[in-house]
Structure 1
Amino acid sequence: MTSQAARSLLLVNPNDANLINTWLHDKAQTTQRAYRRFAYEYLTALGKPFQMIAPLELKQYAMSLEGDAGTVAYRVNALKSLYSYATKLGYIQVNLGELLEAPKVRQKLAERILEEDEMLRLVAGETNPRNHATLRLMYHAGLRVSEIVSLKWENIHKTKSGGATLDVWGKGEEQRYVPISPSMLEELEALPGRLPLLTRSTVGNDRYVFQGRKSKGGSIPLDTRHVHRIVQEAAKRVGIEDNVSPHWFRHANASHSLDNGAPISVVQQSLGHKSLATTMKYLHVKADTGTSQYLKA
């Protein structure tokens, strides 16, 4: 913990700290870390309890935020979410978050989707068995980085077809089932130092599939920051200069599967999108496609 973070913890009163903890308890770990930091920075900057902050103070703080539109929008939306939760809980009477408006962010999804051959080259270029399986499964199953690191052997269920179904817990503790191919399952089971796929009644099936360096018998998962490094090094290895992140693999899964004829409802279910509108974005992200390609004029 940095000295600034430690100072923020000391300055935030216990009731506000409890509010933040309950607000974040069902969110993804990466979201928890970012939102908690934003909330503590907000309360520390204003130097008063959450319930005593005036509307003008909130608006002035939001206007003082620095960074590009995406960064500011992320912080503003975090504050809006906190205020909405506090109002529903009865912690405050008026939802001041409704006064805030996040800046519009230019759609960059098309820039974050690698071509299918690029993604295949990126995965194939990784020679470390654990890292290769990590990259391949993120693309193969469209998993979030938090879902990859939390995957355990007990979450993998063999099917009659020779493949398996992953029991995945995603955002907001939402459960979904994601199928994987026989060859993907075979690669997971062949990971060096890993236990073979076990039945639920066998001791050891609660071990993490992707283990950290200091893990003893699968008790410590791979760190999300390490996954980011694995992705960036793999991209550079094959000459991809973009700032690739693990989430690009999820984007690629959606876009490429739709391009190859997958029904949009299947993609929605596999990725765990609550809204079909989210999945439909991938139907419109090709920067070099448009109606002109289908016309003779």
Structure 2
Amino acid sequence: MEKCPISPDERLVKSWLRGRSKCTEAAYRSDLSGFASAVGKPLADVTLEDVQDWYGSLAGAEASKRRKLAAVKSCLRFAAENRFIEHNVASPVRPAKVQEDLHERILSEAEVLGMIEGEDDARRKAVLRTLYLMGLRNAEACGLTWRDLTRKKQGGTASIFGKGGKTRHVSVPASLWRQWEETRVDKRADAPVLIGVDGRALNHEAISRIVKRAAKRAGIAAPVTPHWLRHACASHALDNGAPPHVVQAMLGHSSLATTTRYAHVRDGEGTGDWLKG
């Protein structure tokens, strides 16, 4: 049986996504698929008006809309740079400016601990603690494998291949490492660290569901996402005395200004411990 030929668009997308983590690839493919369905034409025929109309029709949270636009612009920029299209028609499109609402997305330490302590399942609790204590993005968490880890006397270090194709090294608390080992079922180096009941890696949507259910159990009415735990990690660490450059390196921020946005968003308690959980 002959294989179906790969379309020019699919060939381009495969090249654009090469080297990215599986979770990032899945998220970007989903964003681009939604765009392609909306415009109904090959990428080479897409116009600026198509991109503007599509972006204007998007519903949902601003952060989600901005991410989708960023994915489409990145793909079209790659296409232009590799002469698949004449020029990047999406270049002039800018995301809508919104009022800074970071303070609305910072959970208190009590709220985060309530989410963690209210989770009875060891695997799901490990997910919550990983997102919070290490400040990982959702895609970074679901792509984490045992090969990425280096054991130390106390805890260890994780090599995180993150946003922008950059690798950073994040400290792993000893208690979290022990929890990972207790829930581990696959001893292979490429086995995922965060797993579901079937022992397989959790995907982007599964981790989101775990976080949302934990927030609901803790009585938090806000629409909490995995990224909120990353925000909380930065804010609580700074409030409790962590040097900004340490938090910057841990979260992989390219600019210290990005990190210091989290300082004093909520008053810290000065406990001396940067994070609990």
Which TM class, normalised by the smaller chain length? 0.7 to 0.9
1:283-294 aligned within 5 A: 283=263, 285-286=265-266
The aligned counterpart of 1:165 is 157
Q: Offset of 1:41 from its aligned partner?
A: 4.0
* Equivalenced residues, count: 264
Residue deviations 1:78-136 (CA, integer Å, cap 9, x gap): 33323222221122222222332321123222111101122112211212222222211
Specify whether residues 55 and 237 from structure 1 end up closer, same or farther in structure 2 by C-alpha distance, changes over 3 A only.
closer
Larger Rg: 1
Are positions 1:15 and 2:15 aligned together? no
Secondary structure of the equivalent of 1:282?
Answer: coil
List alignment gaps of at least 5 residues for structure 1. 1-9, 196-202, 288-297
In the alignment, the residues of structure 2 paired with residue 94 and residue 281 of structure 1 have an alpha-carbon distance, to the nearest angstrom, of: 35
The aligned counterpart of 1:53 is 46
Residue number among 228, 245, 249 corresponding to 2:229 in the alignment = 249
Contact 1:194 1:209 in 2 (8 A): no
List alignment gaps of at least 5 residues for structure 2. 268-277
Contact 1:121 1:238 in 2 (8 A): yes
Q: Offset of 1:265 from its aligned partner?
A: 1.0
The aligned counterpart of 2:188 is 204
Q: Normalising by structure 1, report the TM-score.
A: 0.76
The aligned counterpart of 2:117 is 124
Q: Offset of 1:248 from its aligned partner?
A: 1.2
Contact 2:22 2:143 in 1 (8 A): no
Q: Percent identity between the aligned chains?
A: 37
Secondary structure of the equivalent of 2:262?
Answer: helix
Q: Normalising by structure 2, report the TM-score.
A: 0.81
In the alignment, the residues of structure 2 paired with residue 28 and residue 208 of structure 1 have an alpha-carbon distance, to the nearest angstrom, of: 13
In the alignment, the residues of structure 2 paired with residue 105 and residue 157 of structure 1 have an alpha-carbon distance, to the nearest angstrom, of: 41
Specify whether residues 111 and 95 from structure 1 end up closer, same or farther in structure 2 by C-alpha distance, changes over 3 A only.
same
Contact 1:27 1:171 in 2 (8 A): no
Are positions 1:237 and 2:205 aligned together? no
The aligned counterpart of 2:202 is 222
1:184-203 aligned within 5 A: 184-191=176-183, 194=185
In the alignment, the residues of structure 2 paired with residue 87 and residue 117 of structure 1 have an alpha-carbon distance, to the nearest angstrom, of: 48
In the alignment, the residues of structure 2 paired with residue 27 and residue 264 of structure 1 have an alpha-carbon distance, to the nearest angstrom, of: 28
Alpha-carbon RMSD: 2.9
Q: Which stretch shows the higher mean deviation, 113-122 or 166-175?
A: 166-175
Counterpart amino acid of residue 233 in structure 2: N
In the alignment, the residues of structure 2 paired with residue 238 and residue 60 of structure 1 have an alpha-carbon distance, to the nearest angstrom, of: 40
Contact 2:76 2:89 in 1 (8 A): yes
In the alignment, the residues of structure 2 paired with residue 121 and residue 60 of structure 1 have an alpha-carbon distance, to the nearest angstrom, of: 42
Counterpart amino acid of residue 193 in structure 2: V
In the alignment, the residues of structure 1 paired with residue 64 and residue 172 of structure 2 have an alpha-carbon distance, to the nearest angstrom, of: 35
Contact 2:118 2:214 in 1 (8 A): yes
In the alignment, the residues of structure 1 paired with residue 232 and residue 121 of structure 2 have an alpha-carbon distance, to the nearest angstrom, of: 22
In the alignment, the residues of structure 1 paired with residue 61 and residue 202 of structure 2 have an alpha-carbon distance, to the nearest angstrom, of: 31
Residue deviations 1:158-178 (CA, integer Å, cap 9, x gap): 223x22112222224422211
Contact 1:257 1:267 in 2 (8 A): yes
In the alignment, the residues of structure 2 paired with residue 35 and residue 68 of structure 1 have an alpha-carbon distance, to the nearest angstrom, of: 17
In the alignment, the residues of structure 1 paired with residue 58 and residue 206 of structure 2 have an alpha-carbon distance, to the nearest angstrom, of: 29
Residue deviations 1:18-59 (CA, integer Å, cap 9, x gap): 222322334455554444344344444444332233444444
